[in-house]
Structures are given as C-alpha cells and as structure tokens.
C-alpha cells in the first residue's frame, strides 16, 4: 500500500517544475488562491475551466502554451514562465510578505 501511495505521489508531481513550486509557495505566503488546471483538457473545455475558476493570471510553459492557442480567455494575463517578460517581472518583484499573520486559536467547547 505504501508503495502505491508513493508511486501515486511521484506520478502526480513528476512533471512539476521549479516554477510550479514557486507559484505554490508564493500563493500560500501571499494568501492568494492557486488553481491547478487539468492539462488533459483541450479547447473550449479548457477555456471554460480557466474562466469558471476566475483566473486572473495564468502561468504556462513552452510545452503547454500551445493548449491555449486560439482560446478566448478574456482578460486573463498569460505568462510563459521561461520568457524574458516573466523573468523581468520576477526580478523586479518586491519582497514577499504574508497577506496576514495568524496565530493559534484556542477555542472553548
């Protein structure tokens, strides 16, 4: 059973890049929601998923960018994480600060 779980986790994360890890960490620290898109979806189904999730920024890479070709994504800003434009945005970003700081909550029953 443990080997099955370990293999499932390897399968899930093997295609994730450093950009994915940075996005997950950044979203968590900043308090922003992160939506993982199903890269097996195509065409209007993929566009519908993106719009339904109310994505404002979509990060992609060269491998997956063609999936977005011809899709009407409205005002969604699309960035290729390997592009000079994205690198420039990252390089001039301010230090990341948490959206809010929380402490332990003690509840009485």
Determine contact, residues 67/42, Cβ cutoff 8 Å: yes
Domain that holds residue 9: 2-91
Domain contains 57: yes
User: What pLDDT, on the 0 to 100 scale, is given for residue 18?
Assistant: 79
Provide mean pLDDT across the span 59-64. 88
The total number of structural domains in the chain stands at 1
pLDDT of the residue at 2: 60
Domain membership flag for residue 14: yes
82 domain-assigned: yes
Q: Are 70 and 49 spatial neighbours (Cβ–Cβ below 8 Å)?
A: no
The pLDDT confidence band at residue 7, using thresholds 50, 70 and 90, is confident
8 domain residue, yes or no:
yes
Task: Establish if 109 belongs to a structural domain.
Answer: no
């Amino acid at each position: 059973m443990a080997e099955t779980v370990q293999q499932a986790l390897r399968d899930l994360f093997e295609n994730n890049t450093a950009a994915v890890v940075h996005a997950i960490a950044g979203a968590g620290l900043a308090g922003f929601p992160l939506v993982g898109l199903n890269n097996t979806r195509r065409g209007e189904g993929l566009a519908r998923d993106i719009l339904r999730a109310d994505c404002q920024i979509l990060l992609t890479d060269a491998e997956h960018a063609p999936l977005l070709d011809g899709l009407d994504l409205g005002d969604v800003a699309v960035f290729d994480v390997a592009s000079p434009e994205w690198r420039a945005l990252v390089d001039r970003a301010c230090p990341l600060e948490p959206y809010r700081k929380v402490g332990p909550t003690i509840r009485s029953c």
